[in-house]
Amino acid sequence: MTEKKTIHRVRGAGEGAIYRVPADRTKPLKYWVGAIELPQHNGDRRKKVIRRKDKKVLTAELAKLRAELEDRGDLPTANQTVEQWFTYWVEKIAAKNVRPNTLDGYRRATQNHIIPAIGKVKLDKLTPTHIRRVHDAVLAKGLSSTTALLVHRTMATSLKIAMREGRIGRNPANLTEAPRKAATQLHALDLSESVQFLRYAATDEAMGARWATALLTGARRGEVIGLERDRVSDVLDLSWQLIRLALTEEHGRPDVPADYEYRHIAGGLYLTRPKASKSWRIIPLINPLRDILERHLAVTPDNEWGLVFTNNGRPISPDADSRNWRAALKAAGIEKDVRLHDARHTTVDLLYAARVPEDIIQEIIGHSTRTMTQAYKSLGDRDRLTAGMQQLSALFRGEGERP
């Protein structure tokens, strides 16, 4: 007797089936079910399933879905919640493609705001109403609209990837008005306060040169505490910055993309490249800062990392640097609430007061909005940069216009 063989054929993408529920036609119809085979993900079969009471309506919608599948290459399915998708996106996609600070922002937005507000919602059921629910939840916590805007941008970025992968048909964040950035008042030292602070810094043997470098160059926190001795000559080479990086469980490797350039310093502290090559700057070193740094280097012992600034011979962590800055302001008799990062705004104000051309200010500070070419990297525009730094320094010798 010949044994019959049953052949199971796996349907290809775009093929589908329609069946009745219940299948027993002697029983009352509940609904019709249509299923379309979708491209496999990691070898797993996937289907798009819809249910309708009317078979003709179901057939018409299946035809539309087949056309959409052919056009887009995939269709969204309802097998993921917002929590599942955003968690996957942060850890498996964003973590491999964005810088550490950006990734940290994505994680905070996801864990603190998005998942608590809409985490149980099916991904393909997201609407602008859900997006606004997240906005409202952020504001209800007493946080600013700027925070709500950052969370909105996180959702828009993540859902863009979800749409590209065929998990959703549209991006509801793009259909929702984004929160407005809150107006903020930045505090900066004026010229007289800057002179007062530099006079105090001259008495601070340990950190005075560090604060002078901030005010007289507009360099970022990480650029200054990560400055190495061999990058100080007649110029300051600000092509590295010192930051703290989170570590992965993989042999202590930092949690950064594969193409992220870094050098380990100590513990969780690393030297990394600024966020974009256009932020790498070479600034002419002009007096009084040149003399200040030469004196500092002459009296400061070498250290194993070759850093210009240390805390008793150890690298300075970013958080400790910010605390030291506030303590220094207080010691200098300045009560104004000025963040360390806002010292850059002081430098910008002083450069304008010294009548330095705006394009040169952008070069010195490293703003991303500058439109000039990057010739300064090879000091091709050195004469103008030097003149700008001399004009800034002249303010502190009483030779420039006061703001």
User: Is residue 174 within 8 Å of residue 152, measured between CB atoms?
Assistant: no
* Degrees, nearest 5: CA angle 16-57-165: 50
CATH at 147: 1.10.150.130
What pLDDT score does 107 carry? 95
Do residue 130 and residue 209 come from a single domain? Answer: no
Do residue 326 and residue 385 come from a single domain? Answer: yes
Count of domains forming the chain: 3
Nearest Cα to Cα of residue 386 among 396, 400, 395, 376: 376
> In the listed set 53, 72, 91, which residue is the last one of a domain according to the structure?
72
Q: In 3-state terms, what secondary structure has residue 212?
A: helix
CATH at 327: 1.10.443.10
Give the amino acid at 301.
P
- Over the stretch 48-60, which tens digit does the pLDDT of each residue have? 888 899 999 999 9
* CA 117 – CA 131 distance, rounded (Å): 9
Do residue 380 and residue 231 come from a single domain? Answer: yes
What's the domain range around 110?
A: 82-175
Report CA-CA distances (Å) from 126 to 81, 105, 155, 247. Answer: 10, 22, 11, 33
What pLDDT score does 355 carry? 79
What pLDDT score does 8 carry? 38
Report CA-CA distances (Å) from 159 to 76, 86, 174. Answer: 12, 9, 9
* CA 221 – CA 96 distance, rounded (Å): 26
Q: Which residues of the chain are modeled with pLDDT < 50?
A: 1-15, 369-380, 399-403
Phi and psi for 300 in degrees, rounded to 5? -100, 125
Whole-structure pTM value? 0.68
In a domain, 180, yes or no: no
151 Cβ contact partners less than 8 Å away, ≥ 6 residues apart: 109, 113, 114, 134, 135, 138
The strand order across the sheet containing 31-41 reads 16-21, 31-41, 44-52
* CA 347 – CA 351 distance, rounded (Å): 6
Do residue 264 and residue 326 come from a single domain? Answer: yes
What pLDDT score does 105 carry? 94
First to last CA, the chain: 105
Signed CA dihedral, 105, 107, 112, 114: sign only: positive
Q: Where are the beta strands (DSSP E) in 229-347?
A: 235-238, 241-244, 262-266, 269-272, 281-284
In a domain, 3, yes or no: no
